[in-house]
A and B are shown apart, each in its own frame.
Chain A
Amino acid sequence: TQLLEQSPQFLSIQEGENLTVYCNSSSVFSSLQWYRQEPGEGPVLLVTVVTGGEVKKLKRLTFQFGDARKDSSLHITAAQPGDTGLYLCAGALATGNQFYFGTGTSLTVIP
Chain B
Amino acid sequence: KAGVTQTPRYLIKTRGQQVTLSCSPISGHRSVSWYQQTPGQGLQFLFEYFSETQRNKGNFPGRFSGRQFSNSRSEMNVSTLELGDSALYLCASSLNPINTGELFFGEGSRLTVL
Q: Which residues from chain A contact B42 at a C-beta distance below 8 Å? A: 2, 88, 101-104
**Smallest CB separation, A19 vs chain B (Å):** 20
Q: Which of B13-21, B65-73, B98-106 contacts A (4 or more CB under 8 A)?
A: B98-106
| A43 CB–B CB distance under 8 Å | yes
Residue total for B at the interface (Cβ-Cβ under 8 A)? 25
B window 39-70: CB within 8 A of A = 42-45, 48, 55-56, 58
Question: Contacting A88 at CB < 8 Å: which of B43, B44, B98, B108?
Answer: B43
Q: Which A50-98 residues have C-beta < 8 A from chain B?
A: 88, 90, 92-93, 96-98
Selected contact of B4 from candidates A42, A90, A92, CB within 8 Å: A42
**Minimal beta-carbon separation of A49 from chain B (angstroms):** 13
Q: Are B45 and A104 within 8 A (Cβ)?
A: no
B99 touches A42 (CB 8 A): no
Q: How many residues of A contact B (CB 8 A)?
A: 24
Tell yes or no: A110 within 8 A of B by CB.
no
Q: List the A side residues contacting B45 at CB < 8 Å.
A: 98-101
Q: How far is the CA of A108 from the CA of B43 in the complex (A)?
A: 20
Give the docked Cα–Cα distance between A98 and B97 (Å).
10
- Does the CB pair A44–B105 fall under 8 Å? yes
Determine the residue in chain B with the shortest Cβ distance to A97: B56
What is the bound-complex CA distance between A93 and B107, given in angstroms?
26
A35 to nearest B CB, angstroms? 8
- Residues in A with CB closer than 8 Å to B102 are 33, 45, 48
Residues on B with C-beta less than 8 A from A88 are 42-43
Distance between Cα atoms of A48 and B102 in the complex (Å): 8
In the complex formed, the residue of A with least CB distance to B103 is A45
Q: Which among A41, A43, A100, A104 has the highest number of chain B CB atoms within 10 Å?
A: A43
Interface on A for B, CB 8 Å cutoff?
2, 30, 33, 35, 40-45, 48, 88, 90, 92-93, 96-104
Using CB atoms and an 8 Å cutoff, list the residues of chain B in contact with chain A: 4, 33, 35, 42-45, 48, 55-56, 58, 90, 92, 97-108
Name 10 interchain pairs, CB-CB below 8 A, sorted by A.
A42-B4, A44-B105, A45-B102, A88-B43, A90-B43, A92-B100, A99-B33, A101-B35, A101-B43, A104-B43
